[in-house]
Structure 1
Amino acid sequence: MSEIKIKAEARTEFGKGAARRIRRENKVPAVLYGHGIDPIHVMLPGHDLMLALKQPNALLSVDVEGDAQLVLPKQVQRDPIKGFIEHADLLVVRRGEKVTVDIPIVVTGEVISGAMIVTENASVAIEAEATHLPETIEVDVEGLDAGAQIHASDLKLAKGSSLAIDAETLIVNIVAAPTAEQVEAELETAEAEAGVERDEPQVEATEADAESEDTDSE
C-alpha cells in the first residue's frame, strides 16, 4: 500500500466553536497519537482527507510543519446526514511494525444456479506490517454449490499477514436459494407478526357481494 501524503497545520484553538470555524474553512480537526508521543493536534484539508480515506486502512504520511508522521486512521467521525468528516483520530505507526486491522472481504465468481451467496462476515481482522496492508481480501466462489462454506482458514492472505481471528470463523456461506413459495410464506409470516392485514382481491369481494345480494332477494 502506497503512502498518501497530506500537509497538516498545527491546531492551537480548541472547543466546539473552534472546531466549527475549522470546518467552515473546509478543514478537519484531527489528532495524531501513539508510540508514547504527546498527542499532536492538527488541521487537515477536508477534500484531501476525504479522498484518502476512500481507501480502506489508508496509510497517510502527515507533514506537520516539516515533521512527517506515518499514520493509520483509527476513528473517523462523519456527519450523520451530509457525510463530511467532522474529526479524525490517527494512529502513529512505524515502518516494519505490525498492526491489527479489519480488511474488507470481496466476493468474486458465480455460484451454480439455484444457490445463493451469504456473506457472514464483511471483513476479517488480520495482523500485517503497517506499510504492507492489503486493501481487500478476495473470496472466489466460482462454481460452488449449496452447502459449501469458506472459513477464515481458507482465505488467501498476502505474504507476511496472519489471521487475528479464530480460523474457524465463517466468512461466506453458500445456501440454497429460496423458492417463490418460501418467499411468499416468509412474507406472510412477517406481515402477521407486524399486524399487517392484506386486502382481499377485488374479485373475491365481488363474489361475496353477489352471494349477499342473492340471499337478500330470497
Structure 2
Amino acid sequence: MSKEFSLQAEARSEQGKGASRRLRRENKVPAVIYGAGTPAQSISLKHNELIRNLQDEAFYSQLISVNFGDRKEIAILRALQRHPAKPIILHADLQRIKDDEVIEVHIPLHFMNEEGSVGVKVSGGTVSRILNEVLVACLPKNIPEYIEVDMLNVDKGQIIHLSDLKLPEGVSLPELALGNDHNQAVAAIH
C-alpha cells in the first residue's frame, strides 16, 4: 500500500430524493458508510475532492481515511453511482474496515513486457488480455496497489492463469480456493 487517500465528510440527518438534490446543488455527494459492526451512517462528501481522488486507479481498492472533523474512520470504496451523461457522482458507498479482519478487494492487473515477449517479438503473435482485475483476499495492511503480470517469457499459444500470478505476501485469490475449475485465464498470446 503506497498511497494514502482521505476524504472530508459531514454527517447528515436529512435523507431522500429532495435532500440528495439539495446536497448536489451545494457541490456535495450523498454517501453512506457502513460495516465493522457499527450502524450505517449517512454522510456527505465534497464532490470535487471525490472526483480528484477518483482519477487515481488505486483509489478504487485502497484504504481511505474518512475524516469527520475530530474523528476519523478507515474505509474502502465499495460502490459508486455516476450520472449517465454528466461527469457527476450521484452517490457513494464506503465500507468501514477492521485491521484484523480479512477483506476481499478487486485489484487491477498491470501487464508488463508485452511488446518484448517471446510470443510477440519472435513468433509474431498478439497479446490478448482476458482479465483486467482480480479479486484478492487479505488483511487491510497487505492490500496491493496492483498486481504485475510479466509477459516476457510467454510464447505464442501459451496462457497465463490465475495460479501463475505472483502475489505479494499475505495476499490470496479466493477463486483458487474453489478448486482447479476456477483457475481462470488472465492473458494469452495468439
User: How does 1:116-195 map onto structure 2 within 5 Å?
Assistant: 116-166=126-176, 168-175=183-190
Task: List gaps (5 residues or longer) in structure 2.
Answer: none
CA distance in 2, matches of 1:13, 1:51: 26
Greater relative CO, 1 or 2 (CA 8 Å, sep 6+): 2
SS at match of 1:41: strand
Residue 65 (structure 1) shift: 4.0
Q: Which runs of 5+ in 1 are unaligned?
A: 176-218
RMSD: 1.6
Match of 2:83 in 1: 79
Letter in structure 2 aligned against 1:35? A
The alignment of Structure 1 onto Structure 2 pairs a total of residues equal to 175
For the residue of structure 1 that corresponds to 2:50, the secondary structure is helix
- Check the 8 A contact 1:120/1:172 in 2, yes or no: yes
Q: Would you say the 8 A contact 1:96–1:131 is kept in 2?
A: no
Partner residue in 1 for 2:21: 20
Query: Offset at 1:143?
Result: 4.8
User: CA separation in 2, counterparts of 1:160 and 1:132?
Assistant: 6
Aligned residues with identical type, % of pairs? 38
Give the aligned partner of residue 41 of structure 2.
40
Which amino acid letter does the alignment assign opposite residue 186 of structure 2? I
Larger Rg: 1
TM-score in terms of structure 1 length: 0.75
Match of 1:63 in 2: 67
Task: Tell me which amino acid in the other structure corresponds to 1:107.
Answer: F
TM-score by structure 2 length?
0.85
